[in-house]
Amino acid sequence: MSPAVAYKPLRGAGRSPRSVSVRQSAVPSFTAPILDHPTVLVALILGVVEGLTEFLPVSSTGHLIVAGSLLGYTGEQAKVFEIVIQAGAILAVCWEYRARLLAVVAGLPGKREAQRFVLHLLIAFLPAAILGLLFSKLIKSRLFAPVPVALAFIVGALIILWVERRQRRAPSTIRIDNVDAIRWPDALKIGIAQAFALIPGTSRSGATIIGGMLFGLSRPAATEFSFFLAIPTLLAACAYEFVRNRTLLSSADLTAFGIGFVAAFVSAFLCVRWLIRYVSRHDFVPFAWYRIAFGLLILFTAWSGTVRWD
């Protein structure tokens, strides 16, 4: 996540100098302290943000960077909290597709369909995994901040609008209507698209869904494959970050972490259920306009000086 961003501390409060400065002439000044540990309310808010945005094409990482910055909860321990709430979102997908996942596991020893399904997930998983290991430190040091996230929001929105317009004008480009019809080259191309989500604000789900549509998948098929691909991708990311930051875990944070986990699970489960129904009848154009509006809002606050995003 990005360096801490909070509202300008009061004189003598002894807070960290990292802050968002609110211009005195524009709005009344108020204080939001930098948090070393999440409060119950902060944990609840961030858990809901994670759950609602993880599987929508709007970038959960981008929203967590902005929300965490405004709430004053950033830094190394916040990364551990993000692992926990991501795990809650993953569990929601596993629960929604538990019958399919159990059938795949049971069929691995002898069923070709199950073996092909797992192979395709592995192929799609590898590009982001390899590039993430190579460039994650560089990306986090340069791009994990609200303004780069805002730019990625807008660029991603323009790509969504273009792909939706392309599929609407040329429906014949759709050649795959379900995930079982995906071939390994399709999985590889979707995996390459997912690698672009290493840039915060791009959206992992957005990259895989829109990438899948660009490469010939129907909207429902691309969305479902994105759900399945999220399981190994997010599990690997959570395991990697947990190993790196496990020393930051504290028993004092168990209550807040538990609330964040449950909030992420419940909100992600509801969001997945809703999105499955949504994509059967609607496109992703409204999400593109939301991304543009949200990105422009962040850029405006930075440009106008209303908020200084440090």
Name the token pair of 76: 């190394």
Torsion from C-alpha of 197, 51, 85, 18, nearest 10 degrees:
70
Do the domain assignments include residue 2?
no
Whether 157 and 291 have beta carbons less than 8 Å apart is answered as yes
pLDDT of residue 70: 84
Q: Alpha carbon of 63 to those of 3, 46, 299: distances in Å?
A: 14, 9, 14
Do the domain assignments include residue 150?
yes
Do the domain assignments include residue 253?
yes
Do the domain assignments include residue 5?
no
Query: Per-10-residue mean pLDDT for the chain, 310 residues long?
Result: 42 43 43 72 95 92 86 82 92 94 93 94 95 86 84 95 93 91 96 93 93 94 95 89 78 88 97 94 95 93 73
Do the domain assignments include residue 133?
yes
At residue 36, what is the residue type? Answer: D
Its pTM stands at: 0.83
Do the domain assignments include residue 6?
no
Whether 147 and 307 have beta carbons less than 8 Å apart is answered as no
pLDDT of residue 301: 84
pLDDT of residue 120: 96
Q: Give SS3 for 218.
A: coil
| Domain count along the chain | 1
Domain residues for the domain of 101 are 40-304
What contacts 257, CB < 8 A, 6 or more positions away?
38, 43, 81, 84
pLDDT of residue 80: 83
- Beta carbons within 10 angstroms of residue 137's beta carbon: 9
